[in-house]
Amino acid sequence: MDELSILIGGRAGFGIDRAGGIIGRLLNRMGYHIYIYRDYPSIIRGGHTFSIIRASKNRIASHRDKIDVILALNQDTLDFHKKRLNEGCFFIFDSEQVKPQMGPNCGLGLPLGKLLKEELAPEIMRNTCIIGALTKAIGADFGILEDTLKKELAKDLDLNLKVARRGFDAARELFNFEPLQQKSLPFLTGNQALALGLIKGGLNAYISYPMTPSSPILHYLAEIGDDFGLDVIHPESEISVILMALGYAYAGKKVAVGTSGGGFCLMTEGLSLAGMAELPVVVILGQRPGPSTGLPTYSAQSDLHFALNAGQGEFARFVVAPGDAEEAYYWSAASMNISWKYQIPGIILTDKNLGEGIFNFDLMLAGEIKEEGPVLWNGESTYKRYSAAKNGVSPLAFAPSKDAVIKVNSYEHDESGITTEEPQQTKMMQEKRLRKEKYLALDLENFNTVKVHAEKESETALLCWGSNKGVCVEAARRLGLRAVQPVVLNPFGAKQFQEALAGVKKLILVENNATGQLMRLIGGYGFKVDKQIFKYDGRPFSLEELEEEVKGAIK
């Protein structure tokens, strides 16, 4: 077998996410590339939650509909997902909770409650027990699982090992999924990659009010913050978040904030303040279905135009949408540098599929990150915070600097930061602020802002952005197509985009929204798409689903 897809499901509160991560790490230790899709409702307990763990010999970043193994901890898991089973596949189930009503040779039932009771183990360890059974069923050595659990579990390790062993011994080998002789790569969520990229970019402080799907960044940085000397703060609201961040920027500290659409709504006045006061701040915006609360634990690509236009007035901003863990790492670091170099807000568009998806991470693919420090005041002349530089970027000084009066102002102001309503001053300062975007656009020609994947000479191309990268690139490879991915969305690299489309006769747009937000953006630069494939039910495209849609669009 070249690859394997495993679905584990149960009630929220069963520890399904954690179990999926352990299965992924088990297969990763066997040398396979891994991608994990997580699906859960917005409730603490009850409902149905599941993870799909896909292992492949090749690099992947999407899930399949068809499943080889289902691990059913309750009846819903089997009822909801049995239609996904491939021929020749099987399911392992808790025989005390699940009535399979399927062929006798397809399932393997284990009395998980009885096994746990005999070991005096808590109910939550049902998932450890069934993972033990999975290990035996796929022909893997128990030692691989033992090593995985020792690395992943700090609490109740000995009891978990006993329970896993009981599941292993109670199961039987159903096929042999052989380990590969290749090095295992690190295993990260997109949110962890974003957080590490921010640190690489010089992060001093991360401030956030929790909102799915960006909350894990706050939790992760709170765990590791002391190792990097970070301030990690959870204030009382998103308004406090953005204003506190601007205070850090005024003091010369590199700062980022995280939120999703509802929280970003509250931040928009602060975002405009950043534009007027020329204070650098990086905003991670985790998109989810809306409007309003929408589906809090699901995903969408419906905030692109919100990010491009949020805030009153006109001001320069940088907007980027990474597509996988390596791009999340690279562009969060680059966003920090760009935001400080040009003293503008930077917005990183992400979503649940990228942020909470779990990927192998290859640092060699991320690319070299060159840190570029901000332009600083040299102290040789009277300090003017908003001096009218050719590229619009005024030298920075931070309080307390000797002989410098550092005034930032949300009102229109002159070069010294003094409030003004004088027409010529107003025009001059507005043009100064907007010049930054022109010079940033020139700077970005040195970056790979539009990527081309798969069959680069194909006359048919899939156009995607953000987390759709993984599934679009794989579908394009399988169908012999080109995949084009604009990564930086403002300033938009129209020249690079034109070059990426050279020779394309049919352009098929793929987006997770209902109106084609990227289509409208490129339309403003004179580009048109020939076909559109939209999905807006909160779930990502599976590989099979997108392939069928693309085949229909090609006809």
Return the pLDDT at 377: 96
Return the pLDDT at 257: 98
Q: Where residue 90 falls among pLDDT bands split at 50, 70, 90?
A: confident
Query: What is the residue type of 34?
Result: I
Return the pLDDT at 12: 85
Specify burial of residue 277 (Cβ count, 10 A radius: 0-12, 13-18, 19+). buried
**Which comes out higher in pLDDT, residue 102 or 209?**
209
Instruction: Give the tens place of pLDDT for each residue, 430-451.
Output: 999 999 999 999 999 999 999 9
Return the pLDDT at 308: 98
Contact 123, 45 (CB under 8 A): no
The total of other beta-carbon atoms located within 10 Å of residue 441's CB is 18
Residue 104: pLDDT over 60 = no
Beta bridge partners of 4: 55
Could you give the CA distance from residue 285 to residue 147 in angstroms, rounded to a whole number?
Answer: 37
Contact 68, 5 (CB under 8 A): yes
Return the pLDDT at 107: 86
Structure tokens at 207: 């401030």
Q: Name, in order, each residue with C-beta under 8 angstroms of 484's C-beta and a sequence gap of 6 or more.
A: 450, 451, 452, 453, 461, 462, 463, 464, 497, 500, 501, 504, 507
Average model confidence (pLDDT) for the chain?
Answer: 95
Residue 547: pLDDT over 80 = yes
Structure tokens at 437: 């975007």
Residue 372: pLDDT over 90 = no
Question: Is the backbone peptide bond immediately before 322 cis, with ω within 30 degrees of 0?
Answer: no
What's the helix, strand, coil split of the chain in %, to 5? 40, 20, 40
Work out the percent of the chain whose per-residue pLDDT is above 70. Answer: 99
Could you give the CA distance from residue 360 to residue 324 in angstroms, rounded to a whole number?
Answer: 10
Beta sheet of 450-454, edge-to-edge order: 450-454, 482-486, 460-463, 506-511, 531-534
- Averaged pLDDT for residues 379-397: 95
Return the pLDDT at 102: 66
How many degrees, rounded to 5, is the angle at CA 423 between CA 379 and CA 375? 25
Instruction: Give the tens place of pLDDT for each residue, 199-231.
Output: 999 999 999 999 999 999 999 999 999 999 999
Return the pLDDT at 87: 79
Contact 246, 205 (CB under 8 A): no
Give which of 192, 196, 121 is closest to 159, Cα–Cα. Answer: 121
Inter-axis angle of helices 126-137 and 112-119, nearest 10:
110
Q: What is the DSSP letter of 232?
A: E
Query: How far is CA 203 from its chain centroid?
Result: 18
- Averaged pLDDT for residues 477-501: 98
Residue 103: pLDDT over 70 = no
Instruction: Give the tens place of pLDDT for each residue, 34-77.
Output: 999 999 998 877 789 999 999 999 999 999 999 999 999 999 99
Could you give the CA distance from residue 300 to residue 304 in angstroms, rounded to a whole number?
Answer: 10
Return the pLDDT at 47: 86
Return the pLDDT at 534: 98
Question: pTM for the complete prediction?
Answer: 0.96
Q: Where residue 517 falls among pLDDT bands split at 50, 70, 90?
A: very high
284 three-state secondary structure:
strand
Return the pLDDT at 500: 98
Give which of 533, 504, 506 is closest to 518, Cα–Cα. Answer: 533
Contact 349, 303 (CB under 8 A): yes
Q: Name, in order, each residue with C-beta under 8 angstroms of 476's C-beta and a sequence gap of 6 or more.
A: 453, 454, 455, 458, 461, 462, 482, 483
Which CA distances in Å does 4 have to 70, 85, 146, 285?
A: 11, 12, 21, 33
Could you give the CA distance from residue 513 to residue 351 in angstroms, rounded to a whole number?
Answer: 12
Could you give the CA distance from residue 524 to residue 239 in angstroms, rounded to a whole number?
Answer: 32
Instruction: Give the tens place of pLDDT for each residue, 225-281.
Output: 999 999 999 999 999 999 999 999 999 999 999 999 999 999 999 999 999 999 999
Instruction: Give the tens place of pLDDT for each residue, 149-172.
Output: 999 888 899 999 999 999 999 999
Place of tokens 């990229």: 197
Which CA distances in Å does 92 have to 55, 79, 102, 174, 309?
A: 18, 13, 12, 11, 50
Could you give the CA distance from residue 515 to residue 121 in angstroms, rounded to a whole number?
Answer: 51
Contact 5, 64 (CB under 8 A): yes
Q: Where residue 105 falls among pLDDT bands split at 50, 70, 90?
A: low
Q: To 10 degrees, the CA torsion angle through 212, 218, 220, 224?
A: 180
Could you give the CA distance from residue 323 to residue 485 in angstroms, rounded to a whole number?
Answer: 9
Burial track 292-326 (b if 16+ CB lie within 10 A, e otherwise) = eebbbbbbbbbbbebbbebbeeebbbbbbbbbbbb
Give which of 541, 491, 489, 488 is closest to 508, Cα–Cα. Answer: 541
Q: Name, in order, each residue with C-beta under 8 angstroms of 108's C-beta and a sequence gap of 6 or more.
A: 90, 91, 92, 93, 133, 137, 171, 172, 174
Helix (H) or strand (E) holding 266: helix 261-277
